[in-house]
Amino acid sequence: MSSARSTIPGIRLGTAAAGIKYADRDDLVVVEMAQTATCAAVFTRNAFCAAPVQLAKRHLTQESPRYLLINSGNANAGTGQQGMQDALDSCHGVATSAGCKVEQVLPFSTGVIGENLPVEAIRGAIPGAMGSLSGDGWEAASRAIMTTDTRPKLRSRQFEFEGVRVGLCGMAKGAGMIRPDMATMLAFLATDLSISQALLRECLANAVKPSFNSITVDGDTSTNDACVLMASGASSLAPVVDRDSPLYRQLEHEVTELCIDLAREIVRDGEGATKLVEILVQGAADETEARDVAYTIAHSPLVKTALFASDPNWGRILAAVGRAGLDDLDIDRVEIWLDDLCIVRNGGRVAEYTEQAGLSVMGQKEFTIRVVLGRGGEQAQIVTCDLSYDYVKINAEYRT
């Protein structure tokens, strides 16, 4: 793997300012895929999924997508039938401008929930976004999809297969309402390989589990979560990707690593976050209970505020493990570590542990909380952040 320029042959992106919520900044993105492209997506499992999520799912079953339409500032969620009509009307705007079927346009929205989408403003800005379509449009697009993000999240990778260089590029947005149950708030990835939609979706599903589906900022699953993987088919030298080929295995690995990079950037940029913390649970009877323990720790307000304060209050971690719902947990077999510092063993504090040593680890910007359950050989890792004063301020003032 090597770093790569943010461009994928067969994929063009354009941006425009529709004035949806933010003044003097682009908030609308159009992504154009080559006619040879395939596209796969996974979406939120929130029962109140937004209108664009519902419509994008429907369009994916009807036609091969050619365009993505993304807006920030308004989620178009909790808007009923009007929201569905607004999402469809927005897609019509792209279809009219591009000369394609409306079903070939997938809509995506992020922002405030419960407010109607300003369709006329969006449709008025679409020609400008179409006019700015460029293979170099990734950076501008990564900024246009931001809401409370403090910085864009854009990553590129390259790898070689039998002497052919393959490109990957991805952008994501998200800082709050992050406890994905498929992906993240929004993420868009692309490669220039040729691959079937079914195999592309399998690749994406396998990539999101250890990445976007293994992070949390605040435990809230968004109504608008979506992750899209596009394959432009523009590489004339690389073979068509087959499930049993080494190229597929390499592609899945690289897509997964790209997703992990973007997911960790989301946590680092979590609303008000000052620290990135990995929670690794080992020695579990199965992966499910390992993830349950990890998420219980990650979602504890007491643990998260201790992380912010650099306070090695290990009792809060101990309590979270104990209330994670594991049957017949033998507390004498549980170990709790901060990086390489063991805090708890045999049901209590390790005799040689010192508060100063705990403070030293907790004062770092990034570290690992490791829990060993002593129940089996399975493990899981979740990446989270602390809970600061600024998180409360940002969310208390979000609509003002």
Domains and CATH numbers, the chain: 11-268 (3.60.70.12), 276-396 (3.10.20.340)
pLDDT of residue 397: 82
pLDDT of residue 400: 65
Q: Which residues are annotated as a binding site for substrate?
A: 147, 173, 184, 271, 395, 400
pLDDT of residue 181: 64
User: What is the C-alpha separation between 224 and 111, in angstroms, rounded?
Assistant: 9
pLDDT of residue 4: 46
pLDDT range class, residue 176, cuts 50, 70, 90: confident
pTM value is: 0.92
pLDDT of residue 3: 41
pLDDT range class, residue 169, cuts 50, 70, 90: very high
Q: Which residues are annotated as a binding site?
A: 147, 173, 184, 271, 395, 400
Query: Residue 36, class by beta-carbon neighbours within 10 Å (0-12 exposed, 13-18 middle, 19+ buried)?
Result: middle
Q: Which two tokens stand for residue 313?
A: 């209050």
The predicted model gives 373-379 an average pLDDT of 97
Residue recorded with tokens 């260089």: 165
Cβ-count burial 302-325 (b if 16+ within 10 Å, e if not): ebbbbbbebebbbebbbbbbeebe
More confident residue, 203 or 148: 203
- pLDDT at residue 2 tops 60: no
User: What is the C-alpha separation between 172 and 26, in angstroms, rounded?
Assistant: 16
User: What is the C-alpha separation between 368 and 380, in angstroms, rounded?
Assistant: 13
User: What is the C-alpha separation between 131 and 317, in angstroms, rounded?
Assistant: 53
Residue 367: beta bridge partners?
Answer: 277
Which residues are the active-site residues? 184
pLDDT of residue 5: 58
- Mean pLDDT score of the chain, rounded to an integer? 94
Torsion of CA 104, 125, 394, 314, to 10 degrees: 30
Taking only the tens place, the pLDDT of each residue in 48-88 is 899 999 999 999 999 999 999 999 999 999 999 999 999 99
pLDDT of residue 194: 96
Taking only the tens place, the pLDDT of each residue in 232-291 is 999 988 888 999 999 999 999 999 999 999 999 999 998 889 999 999 999 999 999 999
Taking only the tens place, the pLDDT of each residue in 309-368 is 999 999 999 999 999 999 999 999 999 999 999 999 999 999 999 999 999 999 999 999
Residue type, 253: H
- pLDDT at residue 183 tops 80: no
The predicted model gives 204-208 an average pLDDT of 96
pLDDT of residue 388: 93
Q: Give percent of the chain with pLDDT exceeding 70.
A: 97
- pLDDT at residue 1 tops 70: no
Cβ-count burial 127-156 (b if 16+ within 10 Å, e if not): bbbbebbeeebbebbbbbbbbbbeebbbbb
